């Protein structure tokens, strides 16, 4: 037998455990959690952001618990923790796994697509297990006309066998959430309330898990948000929600040690890339008390794939596949009114949640208690909205403040995405629509030519021409957040705000992003000053400008500025706004 180490394949985007193991895919072993999941309960519900490995986890569990796949156990699970520590439930079940991301979200086709998807998968499972099932069971089940009736028949008939059912549901909320986003609350409510087929499906599960000696022995549901399950079950009362259980903090995603081992096994110098991995992909915590952070697994594999294939990091550090479509937040930050209604001012289309999202982005943090469950109709409540932002992966636990959980934007990837959401919201309702090409070009000139005036002048001109945006630019923090949204359009700079540096720092620092653009030679310290129109006077202006100049000279020698500066020329800038208007800009000599 050859002792040569196999050539591993990076399992980027791989969610099929059988294919992964059969084609030398690298597996970050999470099987040590299987006994803990068994002990946690028979009917479990787990939420995590997109691209964290939920589907692969279910595939691993399906292979471990299914009586048909157990014959491949040695090949599939060699060198894993569970191979040395199997549980009595190994290979005990008939496993049935639905992936509702495969169900179409078109209102006219959703029920038909749901029935087709589930019917094909159910028939395949019954065929694979035909020899273990009573004669004629497959035919009796498939003669029923709907999934609900088929499952009811199957669960009832399994009472007579020694083959209990383990049901997995992946992306349980996918098509329902898409309908909520694209078709509105009424269409969503029709699906999830009253006699909607989706509600009826979960009603069957609730009844089945409580049935004496039920053939449905275990249930494991994964998704992104708790909204749909709350609506279809009137709260998750059919099992245990382990989403906020600290024991499962590292069940999905990669720990720091796992990422380091991953890089080493592919011959990469992790130390050379650790700072970027941490800044862009790390710092997820799924319980306030958890100290071990989790790296988004998709992002880490995306980065590693580029290192292995191209011998350099990816040009775009943000994987397109982790970008959460703005549409997922669209229905939360816009009131339910037709945008074609010209009698409604554009700014009125953005509701209170938009202000909350903007405030979170500006401060980078939020003190809040995460709600384990809430209905769609409650999403305009602040605590529910902040909770949903957390479940989407835009906020993560970062300890406590004054006895309450503190949530923070976990990394620079998420911060970049959130600035993109702000720009998309402004654009969609017609509040502010500058040319993104023009903005990107002027940012490039700032980065490489030191020509900073064009960027700020262009935004000022566009604000003057687009009156709707002015309502959002009252106050220094509002203006700072607005500038940040556009300064982050292009990745030339590492943009730091005072909030990111825990206070005592310049309003904005644009440091060269040398890792990606090693030939950049310009950096910017920006001190914002704001004066109301009522207080605007030459004397007041000069007082504010003198304060800004003194602050810039003091901050220029701060180690937080000098460390990332490198060989770049530092441009200290003062921007003075009166209301929404840029009334003064200057570069300060050091």
Residue 387: how many CA atoms within 13 Å on its side-chain side?
A: 21
How sure is the predictor about 339, in pLDDT bands with cuts at 50, 70 and 90? very low
User: What number is the average pLDDT over the span 420-449?
Assistant: 92
* pLDDT tens digits, one per residue of 117-174: 999 999 999 999 999 898 899 999 999 999 999 999 999 888 878 789 999 999 999 9
Region 102-117 average pLDDT: 94
152, with CB counted inside 10 A (0-12, 13-18, 19+), is middle
Judge contact between 570 and 556, C-beta under 8 A. yes
Q: How far apart are CA 1 and CA 532, in angstroms?
A: 79
In what side-by-side order are the strands of the sheet with 569-578?
493-497, 508-512, 522-531, 569-578, 581-587
**pLDDT at residue 184, rounded to an integer:** 82
pLDDT of residue 347: 55
| Under 8 Å between Cβ of 436 and 442 | no
- Please report the pLDDT score of residue 327 as a whole number: 66
Q: What average pLDDT does the segment 253-260 reach?
A: 97
Q: What is the chain's mean pLDDT, rounded?
A: 90
Burial class (CB in 10 A: 0-12, 13-18, 19+), 462: middle
Residue 2's pLDDT band (cuts 50, 70, 90): very low
What is the Cα–Cα distance from 185 to 62, expressed in whole angstroms? Answer: 35
**Strand, coil or helix: what is 447?**
helix
Q: What is the mean pLDDT of residues 386-396?
A: 94
Closest CA to 502 of 350, 323, 365: 365
Q: Could you tell me the pLDDT band of residue 497, with boundaries at 50, 70 and 90? A: confident
Spell out where 266-326 has E strands: 294-295
Is-above-0.85 flag for pTM? yes
Cα–Cα distance, 395 to 485 (Å, whole number): 17
Please report which confidence band the pLDDT of residue 3 belongs to, taking 50, 70 and 90 as the band edges: very low
Listed in sequence order, the DSSP H helices in 289-351 are 297-310, 327-333
- Read off the pLDDT band of 308 (50, 70, 90): very high
Q: What pLDDT is recorded for position 325?
A: 65
- pLDDT of 486: 94
In this model, does residue 417 exceed pLDDT 60? yes
* Selection from 76, 101, 109, 107 nearest residue 90 by Cα: 76
What is the mean pLDDT of the segment spanning 435-445? 96
Please give the structure tokens belonging to residue 136.
């004629």
Three-state DSSP class for 322? helix
Give me the domains of the chain, ranges plus CATH numbers.
Answer: 17-248 (3.40.50), 254-322 (no CATH), 432-590 (no CATH)
**Beta bridge partner(s), residue 508:** 497, 526
Give the highest mean pLDDT range of 176-185, 212-221, 493-502.
Answer: 212-221
How far is it, in rounded angstroms, from Cα 177 to Cα 576? 43
Instruction: Please give the helix or strand (H or E) that residue 391 lies within, else none.
Output: helix 382-391
Q: What are the CA-CA distances from residue 422 to residues 330, 344, 353, 362, 392 (Å)? A: 10, 20, 12, 11, 16
Q: How many CA atoms lie within 13 A of 332 on its CB side?
A: 29
Considering only 219-223, 283-287, 306-310, 557-561, which range has the smallest mean pLDDT?
557-561
């Amino acid at each position: 037998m050859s002792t040569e180490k196999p050539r591993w394949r990076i399992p980027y985007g791989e969610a099929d455990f059988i294919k992964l193991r059969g084609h030398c895919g690298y597996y970050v072993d999470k099987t040590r959690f299987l006994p803990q999941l068994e002990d946690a309960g028979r009917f479990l519900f787990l939420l995590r952001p997109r691209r964290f490995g939920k589907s692969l986890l279910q595939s691993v569990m399906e292979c471990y618990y299914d009586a048909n796949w157990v014959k491949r156990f040695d090949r599939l699970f060699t060198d894993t923790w569970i191979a040395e520590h199997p549980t009595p439930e190994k290979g005990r079940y008939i496993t049935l796994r639905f992936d509702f991301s495969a169900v179409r979200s078109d209102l006219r086709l959703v029920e038909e697509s749901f029935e087709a998807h589930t019917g094909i998968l159910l028939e395949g499972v019954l065929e694979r297990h035909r020899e273990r099932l009573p004669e004629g069971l497959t035919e009796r089940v498939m003669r029923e006309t709907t999934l609900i009736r088929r499952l009811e028949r199957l669960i009832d008939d399994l009472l007579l066998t020694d083959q209990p059912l383990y049901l997995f549901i992946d992306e349980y909320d996918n098509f329902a959430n898409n309908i909520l986003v694209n078709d509105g609350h009424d269409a969503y409510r029709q699906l999830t309330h009253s006699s909607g087929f989706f509600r009826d499906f979960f009603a069957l599960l609730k009844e089945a898990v409580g049935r004496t000696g039920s053939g449905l022995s275990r249930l494991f549901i994964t998704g992104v948000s708790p909204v749909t399950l709350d609506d279809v079950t009137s709260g998750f009362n059919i099992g245990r929600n382990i989403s906020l259980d600290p024991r499962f903090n590292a069940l999905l995603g990669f720990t720091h040690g796992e990422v380091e081992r991953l890089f080493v096994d592919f011959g990469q110098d992790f130390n050379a890339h650790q700072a970027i991995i941490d800044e862009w992909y790390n710092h997820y915590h799924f319980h306030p008390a958890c100290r071990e952070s989790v790296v988004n697994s998709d992002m880490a594999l995306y980065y590693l794939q580029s290192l292995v294939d191209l011998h350099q990091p990816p040009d775009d550090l943000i994987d397109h596949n982790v970008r959460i479509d703005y549409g997922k937040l669209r229905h939360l930050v816009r009131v339910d009114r037709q945008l074609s209604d010209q009698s409604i001012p554009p700014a009125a289309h953005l509701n209170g949640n938009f202000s909350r999202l903007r405030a979170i982005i500006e401060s980078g943090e939020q003190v809040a208690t995460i709600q384990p469950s809430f209905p769609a109709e409650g999403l305009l409540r602040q605590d529910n909205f902040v909770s949903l932002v957390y479940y989407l992966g835009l906020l993560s636990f970062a300890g406590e403040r004054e006895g309450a959980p503190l949530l923070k934007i976990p990394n620079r990837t998420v911060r970049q995405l959130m600035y993109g959401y702000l720009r998309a919201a402004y654009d969609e309702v017609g509040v502010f629509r500058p040319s993104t090409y023009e903005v990107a070009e002027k940012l490039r000139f700032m980065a490489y030519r030191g020509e900073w005036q064009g960027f700020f002048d262009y935004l000022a001109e566009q604000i003057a021409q687009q009156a709707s945006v002015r309502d959002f630019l009252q106050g220094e923090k509002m203006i700072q957040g607005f500038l940040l949204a556009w300064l982050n359009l292009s990745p030339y700079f590492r943009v730091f705000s005072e909030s990111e540096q825990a206070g005592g720092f310049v309003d904005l620092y644009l440091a060269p992003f040398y890792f990606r653009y090693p030939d950049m030679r310009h950096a910017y310290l920006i001190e914002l000053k704001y004066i109301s129109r009522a207080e605007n006077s030459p004397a007041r202006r000069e007082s504010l400008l003198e304060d800004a100049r003194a602050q810039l000279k003091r901050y220029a020698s701060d180690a937080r500025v000098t460390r990332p500066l490198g060989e770049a020329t530092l441009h200290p800038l003062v921007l003075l706004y009166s209301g929404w208007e840029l009334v003064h800009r200057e570069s300060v000599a050091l």
